Each structure stands twice: as structure tokens, then as C-alpha cells.
Amino acid sequence: MKNNNNVTRFLQAVSLAAITVVSLSAIAADKVYRLKLAETWGTGTPILGDASKNMARLANEMSNGRLEIRIDSANKHKAPFGVFDMVKAGQYDLGHTSSYYWKGKVPNTLFFSSMPFGMMSTEQYAWFYRGGGMELMQEVYAPHNLLSFPGGNTDIQMGGWFKKEIKSLADLKGLKMRIPGFAGEVFARVGASPTNIPPGELFTSLERGTIDALEWVGPAFDLRMGFQKVAPYYYTAWHEPGTETQFLVNKRKWDSLPKDLQVILETAFRVAAFDMYVQAMDANAQSWDTMLKENPNIKVRDFPEDVMDAMRAANKALLSELTEKDEQAKRIVESQAEYLKKVRAWTDISAKAYLETSQAK
């Protein structure tokens, strides 16, 4: 009888433990994780701001409500260029911004937005996900308690709005222009005076003459900003052939999430990034059509040959200087150059050839 009682108590204990495990698992499965995201963009910014919202919605739906993400625009947190520091410190769990904004803090972050004369958006996505770009990006951000994921591409960005026509390299001397990232350094090397200004201050700065020119993105973004009203010359691309934004993640917060939620969050990043790229392509086409109808005097220009030659030379020299003193920068630049050489050979006989041969003469 005693043995039977012991067996009974043992079975009861096992049953209770099993019930406890199942209950704890159910609680874990139902736990809601509330994250905060800071974005560089102001309230209502089209396309850029839509990417954050789409990502948050996707993460919530795919997790069956276990991921709730609150988004604070720059209007609320008041630090459009403070997203890196806020996410690093854990003040925010996530950020939506662009990597080249942090070149003053961590110079090698600038390689993961877009580089002058570099890869176009589709080529760069291939490099990120198939050519080693993601691994190099995480290496750069790891010492700062951060992860970085592609956050949506604006596609080829225009060369900018200018109040006066650029007829030669001499016209760039002393020119005050809003242009961030490595392109700003290239412009400085050829004699211009680059600066970075928060998006909300761009139109006023151009209108009042604080700056003489600016590049923002392309028609989808520029139309709403109204730059065409004060600067009639619209220059074609050279500096950002495939500009990628980013989702920044606090690494400690990431590590605290269950594995399935990490996968859901990363999937939401990737889908939202693709949606932003498609949205930007469509919006650029629609907005350019509208812009031309409303402002038929817009003058589209290519930069003169001497300007382009000088900028290519400056770009090459700056990259050489960077790689000579920074082994990590050298590996990133070499990775991009080697991948571009291979992928561009295909682009030349596919997309480029199609565009050149399919249009009526």
C-alpha cells in the first residue's frame, strides 16, 4: 500500500509539473512585447514614414499581437540625427533612419546607404543578401550594441536642385549645398561647401539663401517639399544610385526576444523595405508627371563633363585615403568594388541593353 501511495504521489507530481510547463509555455506564447521606434523623419513624411508603419503593422499581425511597436517621429523625440545614440543607449528599441548620417560617429557606417558611382538599388540588395554586405554591416554596428537591417530603398536619387545653372567646375567653388554622406565629402574636395540640414528645414534654407542648392531624394519626395518653386535647375544622378534606409535595433533588446519574434521582426523589416522600394518607384513616376505639368519650366540638366571628371577623381582619391588607414574600410570597399564589377557586367547586357535597344529612335 505504501508503495502504491508513493507511486500515486510521484504521478501527481509529474502531472503537476507537466501542467506547470504547459501553463508557462502558454504564458510565454501570449506575452506581449512592446517596442519603441524613433524615426529620423517628421510626422506625415511620405514613403519614408510609411515604411516604419508598414513594418510595425506586419510585425503585429504576424506575431498575432505579441509585438506592439510604437513609432515616434522627429516631431516628438526632437532629435532627427540622434536616432543612433538613442537606440544604442536603449532609450528606443528600434530606429528607422539612414546609415550615412552616422559617418561623424562611426565613419564606416556610410558605406551601407549608397556610394557615389556605386551600385544601383537592385545590385546593392544582391550585395547585402548574397554578396556579404549584411555580414560587413553587422560587423560595423556590433561594437555599438546595434544591429542594422536594410530599411527600404528610394532608388536612384537625383543630383539636386540648384538656383543657378552649373556650367563648369568653377561654378561649384564656394557653393553652399545640403548634401550628406560621402557625396558631401566629394563635393567638398571639388570646391563646394556641403552641409547637412534636417528635412524639416530644407525648403526654408533654400528659399532664404542659407544654401544655394540641395539634394533630397527624387520627385516623390521633392514635389511635396516644393523645391522646384525656388530652384529651377534639376540635376541628374551621380551620388546616390540606390539609397538604402535602415532599421536599427538595440542588440540587448533583440537578444531578449524569443527566437520566433526575432524571425518575425526581421521578416517585417525585409517586407517593409521591399514595399518602400516599390512605392518609391511608383511615386517617383507619378510625381514627376505632376511636377512637369505644374512647373513646365523645370530645367533638367546633366553635370558638365569637367565636373563629373573632377568628382570621379575626388571619389577615387577619398576612397583610397580611407582604405589606406582603415583595414575594415578597405575590406568593405573591396567587397563592394568586386561585387559591382561582377553584377554590373550583367546589368550592362541586360537592363542597360534593354533600355538602349527597346526605345524607338
Q: Which amino acid is at 229?
A: K
- Residue that the C-alpha cell 526581421 belongs to: 266
Q: Which three cell numbers stand for residue 70?
A: 510604437
Residue 36 reports pLDDT greater than 50 = yes
What is the phi/psi pair of residue 174, to 5°? 75, 0
3-state class (DSSP) for residue 246? strand
Q: Residue 213: which of 176, 166, 185, 168 has the closest Cα?
A: 176
Q: In what order do the strands lie in the sheet with 146-153?
A: 67-72, 33-39, 94-97, 244-250, 146-153
What is the phi/psi pair of residue 95, to 5°? -145, 150
CA–CA distance, 349 with 197 (Å, rounded to integer): 39
The residue that leads in pLDDT, 243 or 10, is: 243
Q: Which three cell numbers stand for residue 34?
A: 512592446
Residue 214 domain flag:
no
Q: Would you tell me the crossing angle of helices 133-141 and 121-130 to the nearest 10 degrees?
A: 80
Residue 200 domain flag:
no
What is the Cα Rg of the chain in Å?
A: 25
State the total domains in the chain: 1
- Residue that the C-alpha cell 508503495 belongs to: 3
Please give the average per-residue pLDDT across 323-332, as a whole number: 97
In terms of residue numbers, what domain contains 277?
33-153+242-282
- Residue that the C-alpha cell 542659407 belongs to: 210
Residue 51 domain flag:
yes
How much is the pLDDT for 359? Answer: 83
- Residue 199: pLDDT band by 50, 70, 90 thresholds? confident
- Residue 22: pLDDT band by 50, 70, 90 thresholds? very low
Residue 346 domain flag:
no
Residue 139 domain flag:
yes
- Residue 250: pLDDT band by 50, 70, 90 thresholds? very high
Residue 21 domain flag:
no
CA–CA distance, 226 with 298 (Å, rounded to integer): 12
Q: Which three cell numbers stand for residue 130?
A: 548574397
For the chain, give the mean pLDDT: 92
3-state class (DSSP) for residue 70? strand
The residue that leads in pLDDT, 141 or 15, is: 141
Please give the average per-residue pLDDT across 298-313, as a whole number: 97
This prediction has a pTM of 0.86
How much is the pLDDT for 18? Answer: 43
Three-state SS sequence of 105-174:
CCHHHHHHCCCCCCCCHHHHHHHHHHCCHHHHHHHHHHHHCEEEEEEEECCCCCCEEECCCCCCHHHHCC
Q: Which three cell numbers stand for residue 311?
A: 568628382
Please write the tens of the pLDDT for every residue from 168-180.
Answer: 999 999 999 999 8
Residue 290 domain flag:
no
Residue 62 domain flag:
yes
Report the CATH number that the domain containing residue 120 is assigned in CATH. Answer: 3.40.190.170
Question: Beta partners for 146?
Answer: 250
Residue 67 reports pLDDT greater than 80 = yes
- Residue 348: pLDDT band by 50, 70, 90 thresholds? very high
344 within 8 A of 123, measured Cβ to Cβ = yes
